Amino acid sequence: MSIAKTKKTQTTVRGRGRPRSEEIQQRILQATYEILNEVGFMALTIEGVAARAEVGKPTIYRRWSTKAKLVMDAFLSAVAPEISFPDTGSVKEDFRQQTQKIVKVMNSPRGEVLATVIGSGQMDPELIAAFRKNWLLPRRDDAKRVFKRGVERGELRSDVDPEVAIDALYSPLFYRLLLKHAPLNEAFANELVDVAIGGLEVSHR
């Protein structure tokens, strides 16, 4: 048998074998995200995820020790790539574009998932801890890096605590997401950035 035929045979056998670990992980995350959208966090079960992903429960538990960690990974795998920061050369524009991305996510079905996770987390310490660790803190770290970039460029004041600035900018988004007392749209995002970041800009007059 030639080398070419041998390679072809090996490829065929490998293709018919067990799914790769990455494929299994993606199936589990997709199944989790679908069920989370359908029934919410409280009603989601590992048994249901395993059945939809066509894997055994031990396969899931080998990768995620708790339901909360699984849910957060599933949510982040679907959302995180869409809310990254640009580098436009203007820190105010960076925050404007990224805030608009978040508003877009919040206005999609994923926004309801996010609201459900936050709400359910008030009764589930593991879930809210996973939310803080996997969603909140990494997002805040990204925002602090952009804020620092603005200070280094001389665009933003250096005497402001970045933690306070980030709270001032992002908290209103979650306020409107959860309470729905007013529109959560691009116009609101733009005005919010103008107020929160505009008030931190260095005056060159």
Print pLDDT tens along the chain (205 aa).
444 444 444 433 344 555 678 999 999 999 999 998 888 888 999 999 999 999 999 999 999 999 988 998 998 888 888 899 999 999 999 999 999 999 999 998 888 889 988 998 999 999 899 899 988 999 999 999 999 999 999 999 999 999 999 999 999 999 999 999 999 999 999 999 999 999 999 975 4
Record the pTM.
Answer: 0.79
pLDDT of residue 74: 93
Q: Are 59 and 50 in contact (CB under 8 A)?
A: yes
Alpha carbon of 7 to those of 18, 21, 51, 69: distances in Å? Answer: 18, 22, 35, 40
What structural domains does the chain harbor?
3-77 (1.10.357.10), 80-200 (1.10.357.10)
Q: How far apart (Å, rounded) are the C-alpha atoms in residues 89 and 100?
A: 17
